[in-house]
Structure 1
Amino acid sequence: MSASPPDFDGPPRLTDRTALSRNRARAARIGREDWLHALVRDEIEDRLSEINRTFTAPAVVTGNPAFWTAAMPAARVVGDEPVLALQPGQHDLVIHALALHWADDPVGQLIQSARALVPDGLFIAVLPGAGTLAPLRAALAQAEVEVTGGLSPRIAPFGEIRDLGALVTRAGLALPVADQITQAVSYRDFLHLARDLRAMGETNALDRRLRHPTRRTILRRAAQILAETAPDPQDPGRIRLGLDLIFLTGWAPADNQPKPLRPGSARTSLAAALSQRTP
């Protein structure tokens, strides 16, 4: 029996926004787990401290407005809706915090964020990268195939850094940079990992997911596979996973920014430059 999801009318979508809102509301109701947002906040603060500039009109786009309102009281905090509640040219800093992976149109999210910037304003996006939860994804897939003979979407797709970095340029931002950090996390078992994801509001909200509860036999088998394939080296009784966090940075174009020379405009040939190098 195949576990393939049912057919849907209309254009394909990544995210069921109703389900995503429901998952986030449940997380807030049971006590939201914000440790990943706190990690991202600290990382962004470190990066901003290295920039010789004071930002006076920041904005944050996020699916966790309560955390970011408390973290950045001076910022305008808006939800990650398809149409962002940001006015053009009003902010010198826009942060897109841990929500871009749920966007049906990530380029559109970046373009709207870029339009909200003043000239030479800074954009920073943080989102999960391709290696995030890879052992969990593999364990769920193997367990479902073994039990049902089919496969259904369970974890949102996460992009590669080289592909995500290209989005910054496509959004019209200058001086693009993409880099990545990896955070290792350890859990007692599969059940505690699942509880943490639920408390983060990050459980399955894919539009093409199955619309009925997962069989217990699939979950038990996935737990076994995860324990076998992702043991914590420091404590083999636990499981360990990696979270790849990709940071995308770009600046709203401005006349005072450095710009590359036009091809053919150099006044010294490469051969001449090399010949002048000191042995």
Structure 2
Amino acid sequence: MNISVRSLRCLSRGWRCFSSRQGGAMNVFDRSMKRRQKEWASALLDSDKYDYLRDEVGSRVADRVYDVSRTFPLALDVGCGKSHIVEHLSKEVVERLFLTDISDSSLRNRRECEIPTHCVLADEEFLPFKENTFDLVFSSLSLHWINDLPGALRQIQQVLKPDGVFIGAMVGGESLYELRCSLQLAELEREGGFAPHISPYTAVTDLGNLLGQAGFNMLTVDIDEVQVHYPGMLEVMRDLQGMGESNCAWNRKSLLQRDTILAAAAIYKEMYGSEDGSVPATFQILYMIGWKPHDSQAKPAKRGSANVSFADLTKIGKLTTDHQKTNDKS
């Protein structure tokens, strides 16, 4: 298989929405099922061969940590898995680190790194840390399984020190559209209806609002599209299982009929197959950066304090010409 990455600047329609009212947390995912899936995947003898997507995204999150150009005395990795971010960081950037995950097996099989680390078995929805503890919090490919994502972001903001930064990556709303469409068409044809087989994901249009409501400022949100090529649809589903990324939504359908799977595989290859016989699986990755407020941070100017009007932009050519004439006379 091979992986290609393409940066996107567009906004996409997502599959998961959040209520802005307080106490409106959703209960979409079976968290105990997700823990069992991650435990099973991490315990595989060849589990490392399914880490390619996490390694790729983890390196890109680490790049964003380096972009901050600051040394962080204490950092937290939320939903670390096998610590796919930390292996790309050095002690010059992060001096001490806490790793958290719901899977004990993932923590035990974590990657080696030069940074002193402390492992904590904890749910991302219930962080067991005091307020104003960490200088940096990061997370990669974990938050899309959170039921109460607004609440989890608020907890992350609370455990950060003032002027601390949160850098995260999560799967976005247009991910695996090839697999979703193929399964739905096959079920409609063979069974007369379809059930959800791909977990609902967060839309990029919601993410900035969620970060702002959680108390972050100086927000940055951008998108990457990672496309992985497989021999066929069955290999896509096998690798998702090996990653611990199988669907754990409460409304998931437990079994697929054999003829439906074969029909879906044929549709997948017909609609999306490449000339070399491979099929693509697209992962939309949402990256986010948010800062906890502090008095030292730059603040926007007060409304009405501007001394230049946008209306003057239409005259910029004439103003430049007049300025040049004045200089020539001088």
User: After TM superposition, is the score higher than 0.5?
Assistant: yes
Residue matched to 2:255: 213
The residue type equivalent to 1:140 in the other structure is L
> In the aligned structure 1, how far is the partner of 2:150 from the partner of 2:82?
21
Task: Return the letter of the residue paired with 1:88.
Answer: E
User: Which residue number in structure 1 is paired with residue 32 of structure 2?
Assistant: 18
Higher deviation after alignment, 224-233 or 89-98? 224-233
* CA deviation profile, 1:17-63 (whole Å, cap 9, x unmatched): 12111111110122432212211221122222222211221101116
With over 3 angstroms needed to count, the CA separation of the structure-2 counterparts of 1:76 and 1:267, relative to structure 1, is same
2:283 aligned with 1:240: no
Q: Which runs of 5+ in 1 are unaligned?
A: 1-10
* Match of residue 251 from structure 1: 291
* 1:60-107 deviations in Å (ceiling 9; x for gaps): 111615555766694211124321233211111111221111111111
2:80 is the counterpart of 1:56: no
* 8 A Cα contact 1:65 1:78, kept in partner: no
Structure 1: distance between partners of 2:293 and 2:83: 31
Aligned counterpart for 1:198 among listed residues 241, 251, 261: 241
Deviations 1:227-259 (A, max 9, x none): 1111135x2x11112211110111010111111
The question of 1:265 aligning with 2:305 is answered yes
Is 1:228 matched up with 2:274?
no
The answer for the alignment partner of 1:76 in structure 2 is 98
Deviations 1:85-140 (CA, angstroms, capped at 9, x unpaired): 33211111111221111111111111111111111111012111122111001111
In structure 2, runs of 5+ residues without a counterpart are: 1-24, 91-95, 102-122, 322-330
- 2: CA distance, partners of 1:270 / 1:82: 45
Q: 2:162 matched to 1:145?
A: no
TM-score by length of 2: 0.74
**2-side partners of 1:220 and 1:39: how far apart?**
31
Cα distance between partner residues in 2 of 1:272 and 1:68 = 47
RMSD: 2.2
Which of 18, 42, 53 in structure 2 is aligned with 1:36? 53
State how many pairs are aligned: 266
TM-score (norm 1): 0.87
SS of 1:278's equivalent in the other structure is helix
Counterpart of 2:40 in structure 1: which amino acid? R
The 3 A distance-change label for structure 1 pair 116 and 231 is same
**1:90-105 mapped onto 2 (5 Å cutoff):** 90-105=133-148
Mapped to 2, the partners of 1:213 and 1:275 lie a distance apart of 66
1:46 to 52, 56, 63: 63
1:157 matched residue in structure 2 = 200
Task: Compute the displacement of 1:275 (Å).
Answer: 5.8
- The residue that corresponds to 2:18 in the other structure is none
Match of residue 221 from structure 2: 178
Q: Measure, in 2, the Cα distance between the counterparts of 1:45 and 1:70.
A: 9
- CA drift of 1:218 comes to 1.5
Judge conservation of contact 2:59–2:85 (CA < 8 Å) in 1: no
CA distance in 1, matches of 2:222, 2:84: 24
**Which protein has the larger Cα radius of gyration, Structure 1 or Structure 2?**
2
Residue deviations 1:169-207 (CA, integer Å, cap 9, x gap): 111101011001111100011121111101100011111
Identity %, equivalent residues: 32
1-structure distance, mates of 2:157, 2:26: 26
